[in-house]
Structure 1
């Protein structure tokens, strides 16, 4: 689910289908009609309050999709800019990678879709961090 483009309505619909939740229950939860629900499914973005309600209804953190996107695709220039403005303050990004992100990256490497160098270049993940993940997740050869 970690893509550059997030279509939140499709993500919500996929989870609704996966959990087998009936449209009637959703309509009752929101106090809206079926057209409202279908419009949400077709929307590429929705209001944050509405997204919070969907997160509660489906017991899933949809905001994590956006957080993961920022971690993977945010420009590295933002990190450099922060360092220039306050050189005395250390900038740590430790433990920012969720297990979902780690699994996604590992699948890319194991499947051969990306090399380790590609991952480091595309997502700005430090080589040492990537090697640590590989040591923990790959069986001994």
Structure 2
């Protein structure tokens, strides 16, 4: 799964089809009509409150798609030593690498598309973390 271009409506539609949820249940849960639901399936982006409701209905964290995109494609942030201690928004100290992200990165290394050092540099993954992933993969095979 590639996280570079996210079309959230398509992901939602695929999940609905996979779980075989009826349109009636979706309309009742979201309190919307069928036309609105169909428009969402074609939408590249969706309001966060609505996306949260979809996540609950389909029992899948659609926000993780965006987190994965940030981990894989955002540039490393510059460290600002003059930051205030009392920040208004929460700061997450550790990146969470989902299984999909691990598989995506491992696939790029195994296919020869990227070297380990390129992955470390491109995605800012610690060398020890990448080696642990590779070791676990080798142990499974």
Query: Where on the TM-score scale, by shorter chain, does this alignment land: which range?
Result: 0.7 to 0.9
Shift of 1:43: 0.7
Distance (whole Å) between structure 1 residues aligned to residue 56 and residue 108 of structure 2: 31
Deviations 1:65-118 (A, max 9, x none): 111111122211x1x323x436xxxxx954632333222222322344433233
Name the structure 2 match of 1:24: 24
Aligned pair 1:85/2:73, yes or no? no
Aligned pair 1:136/2:141, yes or no? no
Deviations 1:15-62 (A, max 9, x none): 111111122221122222211111101111111100000000000011
Name the structure 2 match of 1:89: none
Name the structure 1 match of 2:11: 11
Distance (whole Å) between structure 2 residues aligned to residue 140 and residue 42 of structure 1: 40
Distance (whole Å) between structure 2 residues aligned to residue 132 and residue 112 of structure 1: 19
Does the 8 Å contact 1:9/1:45 carry over to 2?
Answer: yes
After TM superposition, which residue ranges in structure 1, 4 or more long, deviate above 6 angstroms? Answer: none
Coordinate RMSD, CA, aligned: 2.3
Does the 8 Å contact 2:71/2:95 carry over to 1?
Answer: no
Distance (whole Å) between structure 2 residues aligned to residue 26 and residue 113 of structure 1: 41
Gaps spanning 5+ residues in structure 2: where?
A: 84-91
Gaps spanning 5+ residues in structure 1: where?
A: 87-91
Aligned pair 1:67/2:67, yes or no? yes
Does the 8 Å contact 1:106/1:134 carry over to 2?
Answer: yes
